[in-house]
């Protein structure tokens, strides 16, 4: 949310992934690793945890052991040691981007329960069967690009003993690609014990959540809206936090909307003033017929380029709309005193509800918008959504808009790869879109 070099999320905190038994029990996915002990050097506890987890995994699925296993009788032959365990934060979600590509989006928790450093060598994801070509293949360099620990955004592709990391997975299924029913993940790593060094593979299956993205109207009106912090690899996407004893990513599909003026500038004139930003004060609209679930309207604007980073109200002045029992639209950073609705109000799609501001953890006026499965601001999971209609008028690169966000320069906007009207898609990072004109 806060716009920094990495397009920081609502809360750019460095999360500590503190799992527990309760987290494992309450997580939607069945194999959340019990890693509280792995974070310490208590090897006795770690070994006990490993034994308990191995049993749990074996009970839950036969796919957890590698297909190369030579066990003939499980009562007499030792199981394979899969010292690297995989678990998923959510069942993979299906999303269609503005390029028409069907994406599968999810995260894997990777834990090294071993006593040695483990180099991760390759990661492959198959759909439904391993006899067909993998949907995704990453080598160690590719893994390093999407692997992150609680302490560092970049950790390479080696896992220290006891280390827990998150693998942020995006799978491109191609234009209008069909999602499989399940995914089979294979993570190959170098395993070392006293006798030998060998490659081992941990296999893990997940069921794909094929619920289609919720289709909504526009949160903004007219032309010049630049989508930043998109779902592929942004600060939003990586904002996985331990909240209410589970890992949640409310901002998984969030977008920060910045406005460009007629000369393609985000800001012009005195950059110390919020009024100098093209988007400041622009009307914000209900994306659906909904009930106003929550309103915060008590904070003043932040000066540009000075985010507050409040843990209590990172979104500053906010509106949460209950669209359905499992879809809540969240608007953040709204202009002080501009909110026109109160809790319990019914709103119509396209109704003006507030104005764009610069309140909370934000570096410059923009609208942060996302949809979650429950009303919990950060302690719920972001769900995929799509806009009924928008026109794609251009595209720009992150480096280009970051530079000009700070300098007040004119952005170089490239021609859109797929210009024109788009329906039921979610804009990608760097898209410049026009929404249908809405009346204030």
**Binding window for Zn ion (CB under 5 A); candidates: 95-103, 189-197, 286-294, 367-375:** 367-375
Measured from the CB atom, the residue of 107 and 256 that comes closer to Zn ion is: 256
Gap between the Cα atoms of 262 and 393, Å rounded: 13
Measured from the CB atom, the residue of 186 and 333 that comes closer to Zn ion is: 333
Nearest to 318 by CA among 257, 373, 367: 367
Nearest to 264 by CA among 418, 417, 412, 427: 412
In whole angstroms, how close is the CB of 396 to Zn ion at the nearest point? 18
In whole angstroms, how close is the CB of 378 to Zn ion at the nearest point? 12
Pairing of strands 214-216, 385-395: parallel
Measured from the CB atom, the residue of 1 and 36 that comes closer to Zn ion is: 1
Measured from the CB atom, the residue of 1 and 173 that comes closer to Zn ion is: 1
| 368 is a site residue for Zn ion (CB under 5 A) | yes
Gap between the Cα atoms of 37 and 44, Å rounded: 9
In whole angstroms, how close is the CB of 429 to Zn ion at the nearest point? 12
Please give the residues from 326 up to 345 whose contact with Zn ion meets the rule CB under 5 A. Answer: none
Measured from the CB atom, the residue of 80 and 256 that comes closer to Zn ion is: 256
**Binding window for Zn ion (CB under 5 A); candidates: 15-23, 205-213, 363-371, 418-426:** 363-371
CA dist list (Å): 254 to 178, 202, 310, 378, 410: 24, 32, 19, 12, 25
In whole angstroms, how close is the CB of 250 to Zn ion at the nearest point? 10
Please give the residues from 165 up to 204 whose contact with Zn ion meets the rule CB under 5 A. Answer: none
Q: Dihedral, CA atoms, 240, 242, 246, 252, nearest 10 degrees?
A: -20
Measured on CA atoms in the order 125, 129, 130, 135, is the torsion positive or negative? Answer: negative
Please give the residues from 212 up to 271 whose contact with Zn ion meets the rule CB under 5 A. Answer: 256
Q: Which residue has the tokens 């949160």?
A: 219
In whole angstroms, how close is the CB of 387 to Zn ion at the nearest point? 17
**Binding window for Zn ion (CB under 5 A); candidates: 133-141, 286-294, 303-311, 368-376:** 368-376
| 164 is a site residue for Zn ion (CB under 5 A) | no
Phi, psi of 320 (to 5 degrees): -115, 125
Measured from the CB atom, the residue of 19 and 369 that comes closer to Zn ion is: 369
Contacts of 249 (CB under 8 A, 6+ apart): 89, 90, 107, 237, 239, 240, 241, 381, 382
In whole angstroms, how close is the CB of 25 to Zn ion at the nearest point? 31
Three-state DSSP class for 404?
helix
Gap between the Cα atoms of 227 and 205, Å rounded: 33
In whole angstroms, how close is the CB of 280 to Zn ion at the nearest point? 16
**Binding window for Zn ion (CB under 5 A); candidates: 304-312, 339-347, 364-372, 430-438:** 364-372
Residues binding Zn ion: number (CB under 5 A): 3
Measured from the CB atom, the residue of 282 and 368 that comes closer to Zn ion is: 368
Please give the residues from 304 up to 323 whose contact with Zn ion meets the rule CB under 5 A. Answer: none
Residue in the shown chain whose Cβ atom is closest to Zn ion: 1
Measured from the CB atom, the residue of 17 and 331 that comes closer to Zn ion is: 331
Q: How many CB atoms lie within 10 A of CB 25?
A: 11
| 93 is a site residue for Zn ion (CB under 5 A) | no
Measured from the CB atom, the residue of 224 and 235 that comes closer to Zn ion is: 235
Nearest to 410 by CA among 424, 400, 398: 400
In whole angstroms, how close is the CB of 400 to Zn ion at the nearest point? 19
Burial letters 171-191, b for 16+ CB under 10 A, else e: bebeeebebbebbbbbbbbbb
| 370 is a site residue for Zn ion (CB under 5 A) | no
Contacts of 243 (CB under 8 A, 6+ apart): 376, 378, 379
DSSP characters for 276-306? GBTTTT-EEE-SSSEEEEEEE---PPPPTT-
Measured from the CB atom, the residue of 42 and 376 that comes closer to Zn ion is: 376
Gap between the Cα atoms of 21 and 87, Å rounded: 14
Q: Which residue has the tokens 């003939």?
A: 72
| 12 is a site residue for Zn ion (CB under 5 A) | no
In whole angstroms, how close is the CB of 127 to Zn ion at the nearest point? 32
In whole angstroms, how close is the CB of 238 to Zn ion at the nearest point? 12
Q: Under a CB-based contact definition with an 8 Å cutoff, are residues 341 and 295 in contact?
A: yes
Measured from the CB atom, the residue of 205 and 256 that comes closer to Zn ion is: 256
Kindly list the residues in this chain that would bind Zn ion in the complex (CB under 5 A).
1, 256, 368
């Amino acid at each position: 949310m806060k716009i920094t070099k990495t397009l920081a999320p609502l809360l750019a905190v460095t999360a500590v992934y503190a799992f527990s038994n309760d987290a494992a029990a309450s997580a939607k996915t069945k194999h959340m690793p019990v890693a509280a002990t792995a974070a310490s050097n208590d090897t006795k506890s770690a070994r006990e945890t490993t034994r308990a987890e191995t049993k749990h995994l074996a009970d839950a699925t036969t796919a957890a052991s590698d297909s190369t296993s030579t066990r003939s009788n499980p009562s007499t032959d030792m199981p394979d040691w899969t010292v690297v365990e995989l678990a998923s934060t959510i069942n993979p979600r299906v999303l269609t981007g503005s390029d028409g590509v069907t994406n599968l989006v999810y995260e894997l928790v990777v834990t090294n329960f071993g006593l040695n450093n483990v180099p991760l060598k390759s990661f492959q994801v198959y759909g439904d069967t391993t006899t067909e070509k993998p949907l995704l293949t990453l080598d160690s360099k590719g893994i390093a690009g999407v692997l992150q620990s609680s302490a560092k955004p970049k950790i390479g592709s080696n896992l220290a003993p006891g280390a827990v990391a998150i693998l942020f997975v995006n799978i491109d299924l191609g234009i209008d690609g069909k999602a499989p029913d399940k995914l089979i993940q294979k993570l190959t790593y170098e395993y070392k014990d006293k006798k030998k060094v060998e490659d081992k593979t941990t296999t893990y299956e997940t069921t794909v959540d094929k619920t289609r993205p919720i289709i909504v109207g526009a949160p903004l009106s007219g032309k010049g809206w630049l989508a930043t912090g998109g779902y592929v690899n942004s600060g939003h996407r990586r904002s996985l936090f331990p909240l209410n004893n589970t890992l949640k990513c409310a901002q998984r599909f969030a977008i920060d909307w910045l406005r460009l003026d007629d000369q393609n500038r985000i800001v012009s004139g005195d950059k110390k003033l919020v009024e100098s930003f093209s988007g400041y004060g622009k009307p914000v609209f209900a994306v659906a017929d909904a009930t106003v679930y929550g309103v915060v309207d008590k904070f003043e604007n932040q000066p540009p380029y000075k985010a507050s980073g409040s843990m209590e109200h990172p979104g500053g002045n906010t509106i949460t709309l209950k669209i359905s029992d499992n879809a809540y639209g969240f608007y953040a950073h709204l202009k002080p005193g501009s909110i026109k609705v109160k809790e319990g109000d019914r709103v119509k799609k396209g109704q003006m509800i507030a104005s764009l501001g610069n309140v909370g953890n934000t570096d410059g006026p923009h609208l942060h918008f996302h949809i979650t499965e429950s009303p919990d601001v950060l302690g719920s999971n972001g769900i995929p959504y799509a806009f009924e209609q928008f026109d794609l008028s251009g595209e720009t690169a992150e480096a280009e808009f970051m530079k000009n966000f700070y300098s007040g320069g004119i952005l170089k906007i490239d021609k859109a790869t797929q210009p024109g009207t788009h329906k039921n898609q979610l804009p990608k990072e760097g898209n410049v879109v026009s929404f249908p004109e809405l009346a204030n």
